[in-house]
Structure 1
Amino acid sequence: MMNSPTVLAVGGAYIERRGQVLGAFVPAASNPGTMREAVGGAVFNALRCAVRRGVSGSLLSVRGGDVPADTVSRAVAAAGIADLSVVFLDRTTPSNTTIIDGDGALIVGLADMALYDLALPKQIRRAKVREAISTADAVLCDANLPPMALERLVALAAGKPVFALAVSPSKAARLAPVLEFLAMAFMNRHDAGALTGADVDADERGIVDGLRRAGLKSGVVTAGDGPVLGFDAAGAFSILPPKKVADGAADAVAGATVAALLRGLTLRVALRDGVAAAMLAIESAELVPVFTAADFADALALVPEPQELA
């Protein structure tokens, strides 16, 4: 029996708080609403989805010495992921808090991520991490890592494929110095614009060409209810999802696509897996969907074939 591919993920695993206002939002006032809390983080979400598609995973992150840290630790263990993370007892665990209106539009977000900038560059130097990289088939990271840490991680990978998630427009620029060394990057149109200077409404070919000029050899760009773009050495194509690929579901796109690529599938085939995973994520109340092989097969059957870009 063939062993499953192994992935080392490096980056964010933190507390996600999502508040939603009930009724019309009133600025500078107390608004009634609801608050939900879960463990998230771009690279952690993507890795969990990859594990559900047959990958073996380990995670390097950092967290504080507080109660939320225990919540994150339990989530990593529950996902069947080896935890290489480090705890800083005198720090608070990173978190991301968003407030949305009754229609789901973002009102404000607050990302408390300073610990990643402070601690992750040094953690990548640890002998245990170097060993984990040497034994992994691939590395998955997100732009919660500062540029210095990303550059060091790519250097340590020494030719092994490194897949990266842009996370947000403000953090996507951190990938710029390492784009040419990445096997693939996952982003949305806003992230692509931050890397290339292109308008978010630029045509598909323009987005792909801009990313190629920036040094990226292969990438995936989501666009909400628009087509998901993919490109590699074989060319560029798009897949129109049957359902909107929201930002949270984009992590599922990355995880399932990476898992398929590590099984030897081409990007055109692998990205259909990614879109199927995103559809399941949209239908799930959880940040990362739980699904059976049959559930996945049903979703995949709804995903159209890729269309080559003109």
Structure 2
Amino acid sequence: MRNKILILGGAHIDRRGRISGNTAPGASNPGSWFEEPGGGGFNAARNLARLGFDVTMISPRGGDPTGEMVGEAADFAGINDRPFVFLDRKTPSYTAIMERDGNLVIALADMDLYRMFVPRRLSIRAVRDAFAASDFILFDANLPEETLSAIVSRANALGKPVAAIAISPAKAVKLKPCMTGIDYLFLNEAEATALTGERPNDPSHWPSLLGDIGLKGGVVTRGQRDLIAFAGGRVVALQPANVEDVADVTGAGDSLAAGVISALMRGLPLADAVREGAAAAAMTVRSPHAVNENLSPERLQETLALVPQARILH
């Protein structure tokens, strides 16, 4: 029987423009335009479904063609899609401008609809049943602060492990009230700085800084520099894979979260789990899509050859 994962959070449309030459700020830049379904939770959901898990996704959605596009993508990925549909609203969107090498220049998030996912919606019978039936809960910080706390409280009350994706520095701070109930948090250094109020010169200090605000475990990514992961008193560092043919970095953090969760749910230790997460991220940045359509357990194991062994710091 496949392990069941419940994911609550962002499922919207991603619009990405890529500049074809050198970036000229404050001027018109030639480039190309691309759009596809995305969102932190939704990207992780599709990755986890491709890795063989039984995934249920719950997210607000508008009654528009964009919302239908997201639903079709969920069906194609084999996700048990359970949206709250608001017929008179538009589906949220994320619009990003990327440099020629795939790095982000600037982005705009139109996410007002997520405010409609209020805590009382967790009391709906179908949502309660989804929590009870799941082996693991994952959510992202697109949702309102009080809803994030309610999700963590529900997961903790049921004894379910729970993880979160920070999404952005502005949204990460919404996790502070429920930090002590989160087992794993996936975030980058900018988001970690927003939560702790400081950035250490030595990245190995991230676990203690985040632990001081109540976090039990997490993974702090640092671009192409060593990521830092910690849980259960163990701290590891890992150099991400050196990927030369980067197509687009969108979704890399979401796929890393999915790879780590997949490995942890199979009983792998933290050092091995972050390697699988890094391999999933390496596959993602090689694809023009936020989710690599070639991802599978077999392909992930092949990509592990690109990822060095994690170093155990303590």
Tell me the TM-score normalized by structure 2: 0.92
Conserved? CA contact 2:51–2:295, under 8 Å: no
Per-residue deviation, 1:103: 4.4
**Tell me, what secondary structure is at the counterpart of 2:219?**
strand
Aligned position for 2:279: 276
Moved more, 287-296 or 101-110: 101-110
Per-residue deviation, 1:198: 1.7
Output the CA distance in 2 between the equivalents of 1:105 and 1:292: 25
Conserved? CA contact 1:61–1:120, under 8 Å: no
Per-residue deviation, 1:300: 1.2
| Identity across the alignment (%) | 41
Per-residue deviation, 1:276: 1.1
For 1:87, which of 85, 88, 92 is the aligned residue? Answer: 85
For 2:51, which of 27, 50, 53 is the aligned residue? Answer: 53
Compared CA separation, residues 285 and 108, structure 1 to 2 (3 A)? closer
Conserved? CA contact 1:255–1:274, under 8 Å: yes
**Tell me, what secondary structure is at the counterpart of 2:45?**
helix
Output the CA distance in 2 between the equivalents of 1:106 and 1:138: 31
**Tell me, what secondary structure is at the counterpart of 1:46?**
helix
**Tell me, what secondary structure is at the counterpart of 2:106?**
strand
Where do 1:179-258 residues align within 5 Å? 179-199=179-199, 202-243=201-242, 246=249, 248-258=251-261
Compared CA separation, residues 128 and 197, structure 1 to 2 (3 A)? same
Aligned residue pairs total 307
Output the CA distance in 1 between the equivalents of 2:222 and 2:250: 9
Per-residue deviation, 1:120: 4.3
Conserved? CA contact 2:17–2:32, under 8 Å: yes
Aligned position for 1:74: 72
Aligned position for 2:169: 169
Output the CA distance in 1 between the equivalents of 2:309 and 2:150: 38
Output the CA distance in 2 between the equivalents of 1:247 and 1:34: 16
**Regions of 4+ moved over 6 Å:** none
**Tell me, what secondary structure is at the counterpart of 1:92?**
coil
Conserved? CA contact 2:250–2:290, under 8 Å: no
Deviations for 1:53-75, whole angstroms, at most 9, x for unmatched residues?
22110000011111101100000
> 1:254 corresponds to which letter in structure 2?
A
Conserved? CA contact 1:62–1:120, under 8 Å: no
Per-residue deviation, 1:28: 5.1
Conserved? CA contact 2:251–2:290, under 8 Å: yes
Output the CA distance in 1 between the equivalents of 2:25 and 2:223: 27
Conserved? CA contact 1:121–1:145, under 8 Å: no
Aligned position for 1:267: 270
Tell me the TM-score normalized by structure 1: 0.93
User: Unpaired runs of 5+ in structure 2?
Assistant: none
Moved more, 22-31 or 169-178: 22-31
Per-residue deviation, 1:52: 1.7
Per-residue deviation, 1:97: 0.3
